[in-house]
């Protein structure tokens, strides 16, 4: 019986610690109201980058990008999934772009991509 009580206490403490850690590290769920965004605010969510590779078969794109503010991600080169494979038809290696990426189901997915001005 003592072991069961000790196990319950430890489990409760660990669950509380995990919740506190997630909240303090920005992993708490965020609610965004897309309809309330203005055009400049929506444009601010877009990151700048250069297409390094387009993989039509795997439906992925490699982008050397600057900071992605909405994901709190520094600049780097990485492979992204795309929300809509038709986006891949609009770009090629070497293109300068602005794009929006979101974390979806554990993956970072490009949801919008446009030529950079």
Q: Quote the pTM value.
A: 0.63
Tell me: do 51 and 64 sit in the same domain: yes
Phi, psi of 2 (to 5 degrees): -65, -40
Tell me: do 64 and 48 sit in the same domain: yes
Model confidence pLDDT, tens digit, residues 36-45: 444 554 566 8
The H-or-E segment that residue 13 falls in is helix 2-24
Tell me: do 63 and 10 sit in the same domain: no
Work out the average pLDDT over 9-36: 52
Q: Nearest-5° angle of CA 24, CA 15, CA 9? A: 135
Tell me: do 53 and 73 sit in the same domain: yes
């Amino acid at each position: 019986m003592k072991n069961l009580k000790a196990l319950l206490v430890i489990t409760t403490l660990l669950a509380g610690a995990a919740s506190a850690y997630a909240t303090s590290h920005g992993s708490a769920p965020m609610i965004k109201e897309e309809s309330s965004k203005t055009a400049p605010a929506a444009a601010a969510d877009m990151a700048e980058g250069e297409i390094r590779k387009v993989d039509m078969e795997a439906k992925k794109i490699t982008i050397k990008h600057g900071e992605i503010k909405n994901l709190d991600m520094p600049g780097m080169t990485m492979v992204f999934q795309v929300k809509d494979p038709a986006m891949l038809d609009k770009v090629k290696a070497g293109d300068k772009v602005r794009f929006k990426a979101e974390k979806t189901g554990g993956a970072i997915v490009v949801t919008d991509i446009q030529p950079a001005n």
